[in-house]
């Protein structure tokens, strides 16, 4: 109910708030997740929220994963998650540049290129990496990766520099080059989304705010769930929880879960519902321990790295998976026996999804056994 699956809401911003943030490692996930949570799903509405109203912002966050988040939450994610990631990645990047012989003082070289890139981007307003490389030739500096390996290849530093600026909260991935399933983004200064730049939050306060929103959407959750979802250590998770008024509740399996104070009452019955969720949707990726809604279906629906594929949900649990075939058909495979009426309800949602996708063909970035088999 809170994730707007039993009763869809009013659009992409409401959908993102319902699950804290939309997974964006796969560009299609953002739109499919928002569509599953909207009464009137509309790609144009999601693009408007992202690139015109700029109420949503794409950024690296929890678990070093790409998300689309409400703009007011971006500073909390930046301070509690992304800043630490950015510091580690900068150290690695400087070492990589130094080892490649780019400059004796690779840190200073990187800083100069970053400032020149940011100045060029502010002048243009929005630009692709290739355009910025015309303004800042050092972005075309090439580094040989995996030297001596069969898959050795040269890579321009533009990708690394822009990625670092993004992690530092100075630039933002803007409208993609191509359709909504493309991951070739244009770049913009962060001020186009946040006029005063990325506000600096206290890390502990930011962590508490992030966990507050997580428990409001995903509680009850175990400490292990909080740790996994945020990518934090146990100490960081406990410190954030200590700043909240959280209560323990009995999960019925001998373990305790956590909810926000006053949020321990059972939820109402939303009635029957069906949802077809994309790979990496934030609902199934919201907990580390998933047996209570996943059952025995994990091997068919997850890849070896723990990424979930497209899933079929019925009344709060996963009952199968789906895939889009080359002819556009949305194929469903149920992993358990269901009454005929419920199968018909799932087929109806699949038909509506097929119509909504139209000529677009969606292949998840992370393929799973069932999805590969169904899409063949």
Q: For the chain, what are the domain ranges?
A: 74-192, 290-371
User: What confidence tens digit (pLDDT) does each residue in 109-123 have?
Assistant: 999 999 999 999 999
Residue 74 has what pLDDT?
A: 98
Residue 153 has what pLDDT?
A: 82
User: What confidence tens digit (pLDDT) does each residue in 148-183 have?
Assistant: 778 778 889 999 999 999 999 999 999 999 899 999
Calculate mean pLDDT across residues 196-204: 96
User: What confidence tens digit (pLDDT) does each residue in 41-92 have?
Assistant: 999 999 999 999 999 999 999 999 999 999 999 999 999 999 999 999 999 9
Dist. CA 287–CA 16, nearest whole Å: 17
Calculate mean pLDDT across residues 291-318: 96
Q: Are 257 and 248 in contact (CB under 8 A)?
A: yes
First to last CA, the chain: 34
Q: Are 246 and 259 in contact (CB under 8 A)?
A: yes
Bond into 220 cis (ω within 30): yes
Q: What Rg, from alpha-carbon coordinates, does the chain have?
A: 22
The first and second tokens of residue 265, run together, are: 């009452």
Calculate mean pLDDT across residues 99-103: 92
Dist. CA 3–CA 351, nearest whole Å: 22
3-state secondary structure of 260: strand
User: What confidence tens digit (pLDDT) does each residue in 351-376 have?
Assistant: 999 999 999 999 999 999 999 999 98
Residue 375 has what pLDDT?
A: 93
CB-based burial of residue 48 (10 Å sphere; 0-12 exposed, 13-18 middle, 19+ buried)? middle
Edge-first strand order for the sheet with 66-70 is 22-23, 66-70, 56-60
Residue 56: phi and psi, rounded to 5, are -120, 150
Dist. CA 176–CA 30, nearest whole Å: 13
DSSP assignment of 54-107:
--EEEEE-GGG-EEEEETTTHHHHIIIIIHHHHHHHHHHHHHHHHHTTS-SSHH
Nearest Cα to 301, choosing from 231, 350, 228, 374? Answer: 374
Nearest Cα to 69, choosing from 200, 187, 194, 189? Answer: 194
Question: What sign does the dihedral 12-202-221-67 (CA atoms) show?
Answer: positive
C-alpha angle 282-316-227 in degrees, rounded to nearest 5: 40
Residue 163 has what pLDDT?
A: 97
- The mean pLDDT value of the chain amounts to 95
């Amino acid at each position: 109910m809170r994730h707007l699956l039993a009763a869809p809401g009013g659009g992409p911003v409401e959908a993102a708030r319902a699950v804290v943030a939309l997974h964006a490692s796969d560009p299609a996930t953002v739109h499919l997740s928002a569509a599953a949570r909207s009464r009137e799903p509309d790609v144009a509405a999601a693009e408007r929220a992202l690139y015109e109203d700029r109420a949503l912002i794409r950024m690296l966050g929890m678990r070093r994963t790409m998300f689309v988040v409400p703009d007011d939450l971006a500073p909390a994610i930046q301070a509690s998650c992304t800043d630490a990631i950015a510091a580690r990645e900068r150290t690695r990047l400087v070492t990589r540049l130094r080892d490649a012989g780019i400059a004796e003082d690779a840190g200073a070289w990187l800083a100069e290129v970053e400032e020149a890139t940011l100045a060029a981007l502010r002048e243009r307003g929005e630009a692709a990496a290739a355009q910025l490389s015309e303004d800042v030739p050092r972005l075309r500096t090439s580094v040989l990766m995996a030297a001596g390996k069969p898959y050795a290849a040269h890579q321009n530093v533009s990708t690394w520099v822009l990625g670092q600026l993004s992690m530092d909260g100075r630039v933002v991935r803007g409208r993609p080059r191509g359709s909504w399933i493309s991951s070739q983004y244009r770049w913009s200064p962060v001020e186009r989304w946040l006029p005063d730049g990325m506000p600096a939050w206290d890390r502990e306060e930011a962590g508490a705010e992030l966990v507050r929103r997580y428990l409001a959407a995903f509680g009850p959750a175990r400490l292990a769930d909080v740790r996994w979802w945020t990518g934090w250590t146990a100490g960081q998770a406990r410190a954030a929880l200590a700043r909240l008024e959280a209560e323990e509740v009995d999960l019925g399996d001998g373990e305790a879960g956590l909810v926000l104070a006053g949020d321990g009452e059972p939820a109402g019955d939303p009635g029957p519902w069906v949802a077809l969720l994309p790979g990496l949707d934030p609902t199934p990726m919201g907990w580390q321990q998933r047996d209570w809604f996943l059952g025995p279906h994990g091997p068919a629906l997850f890849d070896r790295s723990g990424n979930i594929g497209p899933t079929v949900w019925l009344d709060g649990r996963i009952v199968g998976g789906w895939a889009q075939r080359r002819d556009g058909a949305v194929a469903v495979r149920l992993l358990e026996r269901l009454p005929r009426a419920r199968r018909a309800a799932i087929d109806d949602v699949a038909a509506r999804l097929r119509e909504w996708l139209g000529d677009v063909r969606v292949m998840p970035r992370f393929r799973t056994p069932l999805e590969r088999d169904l899409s063949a």
